[in-house]
A and B are shown apart, each in its own frame.
Chain A
Amino acid sequence: MKQELHPVQVVLYEGLGAEPWEGGRRLAVTASLLDQGYSVLRITPAAAETEGLRTTDGHPLIVLGSFTGPKPEIVDDGGHLRVATRDTAGLEADDILHLVATARDELGADLNRPGQPGAWKPWFPVIDYDRCTNCMQCLSFCLFDVYGVDADKRIQVQNNDNCKTNCPACSRVCPEVAIMFPKYVSGPINGEEVKQEDVARESMKIDISSLLGGDIYSSLRNRSEKAKSRFSKERSPDKALDERKRCLVQLQQSGIIPAEVLAELDLSSLPSPEAIQRKARELTALREAR
């Protein structure tokens, strides 16, 4: 993803040599800046004295304050200072926002802005390694190469950007409920604590085995009927398969994958144990070759 984007940090400076901000103005400016994608740090006199002002490896910093004395000194750990200091005395919240936007332009700093065209919604799977057993079902189920393996052959999220926004399909089929999408609405996919009824582990494993020679839809229908009363509605291979198919069809309609490639894919079943192992081996070999 946009790893080269470094969100601009705005400092509301209230340390030595600056007046404290009035509460209402502090809130209005902070909330608006956050909603536009900035980070905001409030520095009180005590913090200014003990910690000073630092920036990380040249990340852009805009310091705002009603200065009554010398402006604060800024330490740059990386040696690539990118700082703009602006006096906000007498300015209203809207004027301050304009001032920040101009300073950001001058610093040449890029920003991922929520709700703006081209913004990237941070939608990607997050693995709970306290639960993950490295079974590789997610690696095999996801057709968009979101997952990979690390040097220790451990599953990891490798390509955030490849994940299809609002598709939590891999989470639904994880036998250990170890995959979260924090922006999802319901638990346990959103990161809520896992309940006993969410752990359809045995059911998932039976489904996979039955796929080897069986009819996926019939097996899923039977499982669904039996499980309705016992398992969370969010933990559903049926939904997962539908969601994955929808993502692929969208890609095909956008011309990203040819129709004939899509037609060759088996979209009606969860990956078999053999397919899971094969994909894990391929990725491990690929990593070792690098």
Chain B
Amino acid sequence: MNEAPAKILYCRCAFAQTVPEASKNAVLEGLCESGASFESVADLCEMSARKDPRLAGIVSDGGPVRIAACYPRAVKWLLHHAGCPLPEDGRVEILNMRDTPPETVVEELLRDTPSPAA
């Protein structure tokens, strides 16, 4: 049985330099070189402040989601603030680009994703 591939969301944190530049560039490069579809946003905080309905579209369709952003506690409650609380069933994973080496973030994001050549 084929499981639906995880949705991938990458936050650029474009309005601040809180995520190290090298880290977020390396993660984006990893995603761009992969064979995966992914959604990337300029700034999750900014979308949360505007309660952007696109966020609900990303997390609420029942499939697995992997988010590359910052501290999981912050991301969880940013999404709550945006009106789309994360499900408690563990299907949403948050990867912290502030603290985690970028290669680990990329590896986790692309787990089970076919390679570009496949």
**Interface centre among A34, A41, A57, A184, by most B CB within 10 Å?**
A34
- 7 example contacts (A-B, Cβ-Cβ < 8 A) are as follows A5-B50, A7-B46, A7-B52, A42-B39, A57-B53, A180-B73, A190-B74
Q: Which residues of B contact A (CB under 8 A)?
A: 5, 12-16, 18, 25, 28-29, 31-33, 35-43, 45-54, 57, 70-75, 77-78, 80-81, 98
Question: Using a Cβ–Cβ cut-off of 8 Å, how many residues does chain A contribute to the interface with B?
Answer: 53
B32 pairs with A27, CB closer than 8 A:
yes
A126 pairs with B32, CB closer than 8 A:
no
B32 pairs with A23, CB closer than 8 A:
yes
Q: Known contacts A1-B50, A3-B50: does B78 contact A182 (CB below 8 Å)?
A: yes
B15 pairs with A6, CB closer than 8 A:
no
Q: Known contacts A30-B28, A157-B81: does B54 contact A183 (CB below 8 Å)?
A: no
Residues from chain B with a CB closer than 8 A to the CB of A190 are 18, 70-71, 74, 98
CA distance A160 to B71 in the complex (A): 20
- Chain A 27-56, CB-CB to B under 8 Å as 1, else 0, gives 100110011111111111011000000101
A114 pairs with B43, CB closer than 8 A:
yes
Q: Known contacts A27-B32, A126-B74: does B25 contact A182 (CB below 8 Å)?
A: no
Q: How many pairs, one residue from A and one from B, have CB atoms within 8 Å of each other in the complex?
A: 140
Query: Is A168 interfacial (CB-CB < 8 Å)?
Result: no
- In the complex, the chain A residue whose C-beta lies closest to that of B41 is A39
Q: How far is the CB of A155 from chain B (nearest CB, A)?
A: 12
- In the complex, the chain B residue whose C-beta lies closest to that of A47 is B37
B77 pairs with A34, CB closer than 8 A:
no
Q: How far is the CB of B117 from chain A (nearest CB, A)?
A: 11
Residues from chain A with a CB closer than 8 A to the CB of B45 are 122-124, 182-183
Residues from chain B with a CB closer than 8 A to the CB of A160 are 49
Q: Which of B25, B36, B40, B49 has a CB less than 8 Å from the CB of A122?
A: B49
CA distance A31 to B40 in the complex (A): 9
Q: Which of B12, B46, B77 has a CB less than 8 Å from the CB of A112?
A: B46
CA distance A31 to B33 in the complex (A): 13
Determine chain A's interface SS by DSSP, over half rule: loop
B16 pairs with A26, CB closer than 8 A:
no
B54 pairs with A42, CB closer than 8 A:
no
Query: Is A137 interfacial (CB-CB < 8 Å)?
Result: no
Query: Is A66 interfacial (CB-CB < 8 Å)?
Result: no
A42 pairs with B37, CB closer than 8 A:
yes
Q: How far is the CB of A77 from chain B (nearest CB, A)?
A: 9
CA distance A2 to B46 in the complex (A): 10
- In the complex, the chain B residue whose C-beta lies closest to that of A5 is B50
Query: Is A140 interfacial (CB-CB < 8 Å)?
Result: no
B35 pairs with A34, CB closer than 8 A:
no
Seed contacts A34-B42, A191-B71; 11 additional CB < 8 Å A-B pairs: A7-B47, A7-B52, A39-B39, A39-B40, A42-B36, A56-B53, A180-B77, A190-B98, A191-B74, A191-B75, A191-B77
CA distance A112 to B48 in the complex (A): 13
A34 pairs with B49, CB closer than 8 A:
no
B16 pairs with A34, CB closer than 8 A:
no
- Chain A 8-30, CB-CB to B under 8 Å as 1, else 0, gives 01000000000000010011001
Residues from chain A with a CB closer than 8 A to the CB of B57 are 54, 56
